Amino acid sequence: MVVLAALAALAYGSRHKIHLTDFTWRKFAHSVSQANLWLLLLSVVAIYACYAIRAVRWQVFCRHLGPTRFGDIYKATIMGFASIFVLGRPGEAIRPLLLSRKCHFSVSSMFGIWALERLFDFGAAAALASLSLLVFRQKLSDAGANTDWVEHARAGGWLLLGMPGVVVAMMVYFRLHGAAVLGRWVKQWQVTGGWRRRTAAIVAGFIEGLQALQTTSDLLLSIFYTAAHWSLVALIYMMISQAFASDFSHSNLNFPGAMLLLAVTVVGSVLQLPGVGGGAQVASFIGLTTIFGVEQEPAAAIAVVLWLITFASCALAGIPLLIHEGLGMGELRRLAKAEAQAEEVGAHIAPNGGESLRVPPGRGDSAK
């Protein structure tokens, strides 16, 4: 709800600054044709390095569950993001199921770690936005950012700055004290129906994921790999934007500017349509035109290429891997639908698509 409200506020504030009637496909084609191909190819390589960092972080989350192999997690990660590309948000459930199959861990434990991973990524996005607004204000001006917009957004930057700290404090508290209390509350709600049962299933997954962080070393390593991953993604945003720099009417987008653009795009990525994206491109376009004053045609080209490289490029390796695993479009849809139905009753399906498995709060075991 907060994410969607932020995107709506950004779009509303830009309503008088975007005039698509002035858009010309000739300028758009020119922007694409003048792009630096080598920077774009380097960005594709770098995004697969990001998936590798994600896989290593997942290994950190799983190291108290049992031994894992990097290759298995890396392939499952790429296949999972390819599933989101072809199915949209309903494909989110595929990655934990694939990781459960590859790693031979319980389904509930993988969904719990998936919930933990999303919490870390949320905190990273908030940190990127706050750092760019509060620490690198002059650098944003050098990148051509609208100084009035930046000044108005700085108040929100202070709020965002506190979010990663709150997230870490919550995880530490719940890990040490709150998990048992929440577990009893979840158990009461699991016997009810409707939204209470669905909420209880989500919270139970979060509690399960917290069990992955058993030591201070676990927490610090998770923060390190999260920072490395999102810093590399911001670098990719900067490289892609600079590949179109010949069409900018302002200074080239620097790293702090890329951090802010990435945070805006992450907000829009919540609205994900199968195969075509949607929200991410719109958010990138609004951010480039409103915040950085980029003309509409190169902004549209950058927004599309950002989505193609940072999200759709996973399909280059992911779809062949899915086919190799025997998972076609029909099977992916069936798994996604079965998982959605299982979640309605506070359960998860088996990794092989069999009987649904009820998830007691605080436990990671599943039916054989």
Residue with tokens 């996973």: 314
- Residues 180 and 46: their CA atoms lie apart, in Å, by 41
Task: Specify the pLDDT at position 52.
Answer: 96
3-state secondary structure of 272: strand
Task: Specify the pLDDT at position 88.
Answer: 77
The per-type count for the chain, helices as H runs and strands as E runs, is: 16, 4
Residues of the chain short of pLDDT 70, as ranges, are: 1-33, 136-146, 149-150, 152, 154-157, 174-210, 246-252, 268-279, 340-368
Task: Specify the pLDDT at position 276.
Answer: 46
- Residues 74 and 48: their CA atoms lie apart, in Å, by 10
3-state secondary structure of 28: helix
**How many Å is the Cα radius of gyration of the chain?**
21
Record the tokens describing residue 357, joined without a space: 């498995």
Record the tokens describing residue 100, joined without a space: 């459960």
Whether 205 contacts 115, CB under 8 Å? yes
Instruction: Convert the pLDDT of each residue in 10-65 to its tens digit.
Output: 555 544 444 444 555 555 565 666 778 888 899 999 999 999 999 999 999 988 88
- Residues 83 and 274: their CA atoms lie apart, in Å, by 9
- Element containing residue 255 per DSSP (H, E): helix 255-268
Task: Specify the pLDDT at position 55.
Answer: 95
Handedness of CA 345, 1, 278, 302 (dihedral sign): negative
pTM score, whole prediction: 0.75
